[in-house]
Amino acid sequence: MLLSFAVFLLLLLLGMPVVFAIGIGGLVFFLTQPGLQLTMPVQLALAETQNFSLLAIPTFILASNLMNELGVTRRLLRFAHVATGFMRGGLAQASVLLGFLMGGVSGSAIADATMQARLLGPEMVRRGYSPGFIAALQGFSGLLAVAIPPSIGLILYGSIGQVSIGQLFAGGIGVGVLLAAVYMLTVALLARSRGYLPETAPPTAKEVGAALREGFFAVLFPFLLLAALRFGVFVPSEVGAAAVVYALLVGLIYRELSLERVNRALAHSVRDVGMVALLIAMAAVLGYGMKWEMFPQQVSAFLLEAVQNPQVALLLILLALLVLGTVLDSTVMIILLTPILVPAAKALGIDLVYFGVLMVLTCAVGLLTPPVGLSMYSVCSVMGCSIGEYMREGWPFLLATLLVLLLAYLFPGVVLFLPRLLFGGGV
């Protein structure tokens, strides 16, 4: 198994796409095990992608792309600007609120960050914001999609770790609300110190009502998801399909549904789903090697022996994930590490919903830090700024994110309040 990991890391250092590095690393394990048939990697890859609970991923991805194509984003932006434009740094505050609202539509941090940079970047530059500040703000605002349903990271964790996706969604909302509030406070402090002025007068109740009516169906979306899961109307794999129907109905209501837009949404979805499915398939090959060598059990035994306190063990795991996130993509980390860390968390008596929300959000921090940060590179490319400028402007938001992680770690109720209220407890 050590040889497989060494090959995997070497290929990553040589610049090979991570999905192929994982697959080749897994294949090396089978080549060094005479007792295992070489047909098994193909069978494992196919079997893992047939996991019924993973059906939620392609359907949610399609639903989010449909909503983006059918005018939902523009309406949410209008509502966000009406709600926050009267504050200092109004467009920056609107970016955070839009990130929160769009998290309930897309579930993808990279997609949200890139979309917001393209949508808001030019206007923010005209209003005097620096490209580095805009890139950092949009990147971290996109991180809200990791916590807000339908988060793809939470679906992956729940599907692989056999944890209730409904409870994970509920737990993510608590952290997402706190994260959005801390980001808005950060923007307010920066706006005051830099002299950013309000962009509009305080809105009237009529203006707020009109903007809310326009974005009502999108704002309602994550709450409908939770209600459907809570009352057993759909299981997670079915609620994704219901989300697609909902997106099409929203397009009809807004009178923006057309064959051309649906085709564009389908094309984007095929690309996104193909990437995730290939990662899952390749990770299954390497993951079998870890199970064969009893790696999850070894990690559990080590943590139980070396660290008696579950909270200390959890802190060490989260710190390790923060470090790993600087060199590995968050999706790869979730797929590879969930089978290892869930048994360890269970053995330590850590609530798996609490652990999952913290794990997924911690892994996602790496999307915004060098050298691998995919969201970071994406927003810097859109805004035409250097990584150095991004980092100079981004450190307040990074500290804000780490503060929220610390609060969620110290006070589990931040994560578990809603799952316990809606579902009667964690896993």
Cβ within 8 Å of residue 204, ≥6 positions away:
none
Q: The tokens of 395 are what?
A: 């450190």
Question: Considering the chain, what is the average pLDDT of its residues?
Answer: 86
Whether the Cβ atoms of residue 351 and residue 416 lie closer than 8 Å to each other: yes
Percent of the chain with pLDDT over 70: 98
- The tens digit of pLDDT for each residue in 122-136 reads 888 988 899 999 999
Task: Specify whether the backbone of 232 is left (phi greater than 0), alpha (psi in -120 to 50) or beta.
Answer: left
Is pLDDT at 336 greater than 50 in this prediction? yes
Q: How many other C-beta atoms are found inside a 10 Å radius of the C-beta of residue 396?
A: 17
What's the Cα-to-Cα distance from 127 to each of 121, 203, 244, 383, 393, rounded to whole Å? 10, 20, 37, 14, 17
Alpha-carbon span 346 to 427, nearest angstrom? 10
At residue 328, the pLDDT reads: 78
Tokens 């500040």 belong to residue: 133
Residue extents of the structural domains in the chain = 52-423
Q: The tokens of 142 are what?
A: 């996109």
Alpha-carbon span 336 to 288, nearest angstrom? 10
- The tens digit of pLDDT for each residue in 185-215 reads 999 999 999 888 787 788 888 888 888 887 7
- pLDDT band for 144, please (50, 70, 90 cuts): very high
Of the two residues 418 and 213, the one the predictor is more confident about is: 418
- Residue 38 CA, chain-centre distance (Å), reads 35
- pLDDT band for 274, please (50, 70, 90 cuts): confident
Is pLDDT at 152 greater than 50 in this prediction? yes
Is pLDDT at 426 greater than 60 in this prediction? no
Alpha-carbon span 373 to 17, nearest angstrom? 14
3-state helix, strand, coil in the chain (%, to 5): 80, 0, 20
Whether the Cβ atoms of residue 21 and residue 12 lie closer than 8 Å to each other: yes
Is pLDDT at 425 greater than 60 in this prediction? no
The three-state (H, E, C) secondary structure of 215-244, written as one string: HHHHHHHHHHHHHHHHCCCCCHHHHHHHHH
Alpha-carbon span 138 to 46, nearest angstrom? 37
Alpha-carbon span 53 to 162, nearest angstrom? 9
Is pLDDT at 342 greater than 80 in this prediction? yes
What's the Cα-to-Cα distance from 233 to each of 56, 71, 166, 172, 335, rounded to whole Å? 15, 27, 12, 21, 28
- The tens digit of pLDDT for each residue in 282-335 reads 888 888 888 888 777 787 777 777 777 889 999 999 999 998 888 777 888 898
Whether the Cβ atoms of residue 373 and residue 366 lie closer than 8 Å to each other: yes
Measured in Å, how far apart are the chain's first and last C-alpha atoms?
A: 31
Tell me whether the omega of the peptide bond preceding residue 371 falls within 30 degrees of 0, making it cis.
yes
Residue 339, CB half-sphere, CA atoms under 13 Å: how many? 18
Percent of the chain with pLDDT over 90: 28
- pLDDT band for 106, please (50, 70, 90 cuts): low
Tokens 């990279």 belong to residue: 110
One-letter amino acid of 277? A
